[in-house]
Structure 1
């Protein structure tokens, strides 16, 4: 064990002085107050804990009582982990609400060695501090691993410092969890509504799923940030939600629509926009944009507003490519599914006409990736 400690503590540090502790707390209070993304918040709090107690690693674990699990995305050096709420020092801290201080993890029967075995890491000293919500219930815990000072073990001062951070973390995480639940509910609602809308035109829910995945992939390939690409992915199921107001006689007509019928059909873009246009939520505002603009065309011949080129929001331009690609390859009441060579020929011919020329070329250059998504989420079976 001593040899192992020499490896773990090859960089021996000193405990922080009071002025440095205060500086770190104020620095991270600012970061926490500006972050609403739950995963990112967990990482920020883990960094805070790591610095405060001079640990090699620190993670923030959250409790999922309904599933009897605990999970983290904020463990330094490892990926997201989900374990039983009874597992290890973290599980003990969460289920009992008690602080856990351990000098040598391998001499304690509560230690779960599985993570060390999988990662090749060696846990020595451990400090776990639970944090609570406004009702006093334990919702998670800090876990600091391997004190990086010469002594190599966590002390009472470390418990006080991490306890202070836990008090602040509990309130911040409670707010973030509630916001995250709202966002997840919105995502679920949009996907369900999208499937309902597609079912009216006798299409499967897999259409909206594929369009969402195509849109996300094309957004990432085009250089759009992960945050905006995810907004597009989660909002895109609403692209044709306005069809819920389109009469069946038009929506399900097997032949070509008359001019008057097509004018009625085109109103679904406006209806979809009107459903979401007054929302202040980013996800629903994105849904409004997509519903409104995904039938616009690069050359200005689309609807409902005849926008052209970059007047069309990039979310609309991306969804147009994703929607047409999937529609052409799918059986509809008014047509049979096209073969892939026909689809490629059409999308190539429509470059700079229907589609943004740069985006559609990027799509065609990465066609195999989109075909893989289509095959994985096929309507068959």
Structure 2
């Protein structure tokens, strides 16, 4: 490879990696950069999972997530010793014959791939600790063999990537913590009305499926999935005697109950974080109706944010299908008839259509997060 072409690859990828904080995207870019720098058939970025004593990759070209024991194969050998590995005869190599049988060759059996040549290079954090490694497989050349120059180039990629990955892992940890806090807060709101935490999990997953079916981007669908558990957070301020009343609420009690939408909005609206901003919208608008008869503001049609319109149908579907203190769960057939009858009244017609299209996935979610199954 000509030096100017190599520099172009490095510049293009480092610019993108530096500006990216999503862990999956960073790992994908790292794998792509390594592959392109040495013209490998495949490149995998392995990370250490200290909790489970495993090596894992969510990004491996042509395959999905893989997990292997921490000491397995050449990847485990490289990480445990801190040494790079360079071989061009995977199935006959005597030096690494034993470790190959527990790693790359075993993976071949799982994936149907044939490994000939391998480069494995550990990468380190800013404080020098090994975080994982690059693994390149099979050179795209007539003999499929890597060169010493390929080893040097991939070492360069590993040196840079370790530093960037540390920042992405920190951002990922912060994001996962935020998700956990949001789900916990959502469960608090539900538990005060004697509803299960699984309700907010189901509504979150339903909302994400519907959003993707409507053509929202992956980013926006994920924002909604993380925000929708907060839809009833305002219930924390509703008195117990109203919240848990098994009978029909009086008009005055119902007006108090309705205030949970605005209360939730006011709890969340001052945040500058995109997830909590979305949660404020969902809390405020998930009781609005397409025909303008909802609350708290009587919004109509597309005045209602798409997040509110999606969460509305997800929440109603799950509420009708769940046992509550004031009602028994409805049969699925009755729920679907009700949703169809509210098309263009309570619900956005387009959202109803997508809901029905996505019903198999929605029912799978309902089964996976069943209150019975998770007790």
Give 1:67-82 correspondences, 5 Å limit. Answer: 67-82=52-67
In the alignment, the residues of structure 2 paired with residue 65 and residue 280 of structure 1 have an alpha-carbon distance, to the nearest angstrom, of 33
- Equivalences for residues 178-257 of structure 1 within 5 A: 178-257=170-249
Q: Paired residue for 1:333, among 325, 331, 337?
A: 325
Gaps of 5+ in 2: none
2:93 equivalent to 1:93: no
1:323-362 to structure 2, matched below 5 A, reads: 323-362=315-354
Q: What SS does the aligned partner of 2:55 have?
A: strand
- CA distance in structure 2 between the partners assigned to 1:64 and 1:131 by the alignment: 15
- Compared with structure 1, are the counterparts of its residues 300 and 74 closer, same or farther at alpha carbon in structure 2 (3 Å cutoff)? same
1:359, CA displacement in angstroms? 0.9
1:84 aligns with 2:69: yes
Deviates more, 1:149-158 or 1:95-104: 149-158
| Residues 333 and 81 of structure 1, relative CA distance in 2, 3 Å threshold | same
Counterpart of 1:143 in 2: which secondary structure? strand
| Match of residue 301, structure 2, among 302, 309, 329 | 309
The 1:71–1:301 alpha-carbon spacing in structure 2 relative to 1, beyond 3 Å, is same
User: 1:62: how far off?
Assistant: 1.0
Which residue does the alignment assign to 2:277? 285
How many Å apart are 1:352 and its aligned residue? Answer: 1.2
Question: 1:10 aligns to what?
Answer: none
Aligned-residue offset at 1:335: 2.1
Number of residue pairs aligned between Structure 1 and Structure 2: 366
Give runs of aligned pairs for residues 35-54 of structure 1, distance below 5 A: 35-54=20-39
The within-5 A match list for 1:115-130 is: 115-130=107-122
> In 1, Cα distance between the equivalents of 2:279 and 2:285?
10
- Report the Cα offset of residue 334 of structure 1: 2.0
Q: 1:120 to 1:341 in 2, by over 3 A?
A: closer
Q: Which moved more, 1:303-312 or 1:150-159?
A: 150-159
1:31 aligns with 2:16: yes
Q: How far is 1:225 from its partner?
A: 2.0
Residue 19, structure 1, aligned to residue 4, structure 2: yes
Alpha-carbon offset, residue 24 of structure 1: 0.8
Specify the alignment match of 1:110 in structure 2: 99
1:55 aligned partner: 40
Deviation at 1:342, TM superposition (A): 2.9
Which stretch has the larger CA shift, 368-377 or 316-325? Answer: 368-377
Shift of the alpha carbon at 1:86? Answer: 0.4
The SS at the match of 1:105 is: coil
- Of 143, 154, 159, 1:162 maps to 154
Q: CA RMSD in A?
A: 1.8
Q: Which deviates more from structure 2 when the two are superposed, residues 270-279 or residues 41-50?
A: 270-279
Q: Partners of 2:54 and 2:229 in 1: how far apart? A: 31
Measured at CA, do residues 264 and 63 of structure 1 come closer, stay the same or move farther in structure 2, by a change above 3 Å?
A: same
* TM-score, structure 1 normalization: 0.91
- Normalised to the residue count of structure 2, the TM-score between the two structures is 0.92
Residue 296 of structure 1 corresponds to which residue in structure 2?
Answer: 288
Q: How far 1:353 sits from its partner (Å)?
A: 1.3
Aligned equivalents of 2:358, 2:17: Cα separation in 1: 39
Distance in 2 (CA, whole Å) between partners of 1:348 and 1:306 is 21
TM-superposed deviation, 1:21? 0.7
After superposition, the Cα gap between the structure-2 partners of 1:156 and 1:284, relative to the gap in structure 1 and judged at 3 Å, is: same
How far off is 1:84 after superposition?
1.1
Secondary structure (helix, strand or coil) at the match of 1:62 reads: strand
Offset at 1:123? 1.0
C-alpha displacement of 1:368: 4.3
For the structure 1 residues 207 and 154, does the alpha-carbon distance in structure 2 shift closer, same or farther, using more than 3 Å as the test?
A: same
Instruction: Give, in angstroms, the shift of residue 154 of structure 1.
Output: 2.9
Structure 1 stretch displaced more, 188-197 or 138-147: 188-197
Structure 2 CA distance for partners of 1:185 and 1:349, relative to 1, 3 Å:
same
- Separation of aligned partners in 1, 2:357 and 2:241: 39
| Partner-residue secondary structure (3-state), 2:259 | helix
